[in-house]
């Protein structure tokens, strides 16, 4: 009863249309002594290169006996115009990070040197300031008024 069956290959596109790809009829002979036993037979089907991106969809295999029908889980295939292109941003990230760190380092160094120059004048300028302070007489201050508690 189950030695004669049909195998169907088809796909369902993104809008739900079923398109037949291939079908064949099988008649399997049962070896002597193997009657009433479960057997598994594999059938491979090679899908030819896809013509265009419209071939995207889920591909199925279906087997029909007289009163039984079995459908596989299906395999989703995404067809792309340029094929699979692996994206790798490793070098770009490394170069960007290195450039950013270099720019920050240079900026920090410039700011530190500029701040040091502003806060710490040169020795010659410091000595001139000391001489000016030493040569100026102390300012005359009026006598302090007597404390109130006296």
Full 3-state SS string of the chain: CCCEEEEEEEEECCCCCEEEEEEEEEECCCCCCCCCCCCCCCCCCCCCCCCCHHHCEEEEEEEECCCCEEECCCEEECCCCCCCCCCCCHHHHHHHHHHHHHHHHHHHHHHHHHHHHHHCCCHHHHHHHHHHHHHCCCCCCCCCCCCCCC
Residues 49 and 17 reside in one and the same domain:
yes
Residue 145 maps to a domain: no
pLDDT, tens digit, 9 for 90 and up, residues 89-123 = 788 888 999 999 999 999 998 888 877 766 655 55
pLDDT, tens digit, 9 for 90 and up, residues 124-146 = 555 555 565 555 555 666 666 66
Residues 97 and 128 reside in one and the same domain:
yes
Residues 100 and 129 reside in one and the same domain:
yes
The parent domain of residue 113 ranges over 88-133
How many structural domains are present in the chain?
A: 2
Residues 58 and 122 reside in one and the same domain:
no
Residue 147 maps to a domain: no
């Amino acid at each position: 009863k189950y030695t004669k069956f049909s195998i169907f290959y088809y796909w369902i596109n993104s809008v739900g249309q079923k398109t037949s790809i291939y079908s064949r009829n099988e008649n399997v002979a049962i070896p002597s002594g193997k009657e009433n036993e479960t057997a598994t037979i594999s059938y491979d089907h090679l899908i030819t290169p896809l013509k265009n991106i419209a071939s995207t969809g889920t591909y199925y295999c279906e087997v029909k006996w007289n009163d039984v029908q079995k459908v596989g889980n299906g395999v989703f295939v995404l067809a792309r115009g340029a094929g699979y292109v692996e994206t790798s941003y490793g070098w770009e990230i490394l170069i960007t990070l290195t450039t950013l760190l270099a720019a920050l380092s240079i900026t920090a160094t410039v700011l530190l040197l500029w701040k040091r120059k502003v806060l710490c004048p040169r020795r010659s300028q410091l000595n001139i300031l000391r001489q000016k302070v030493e040569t100026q007489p102390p300012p005359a201050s009026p006598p302090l008024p007597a404390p109130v508690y006296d």
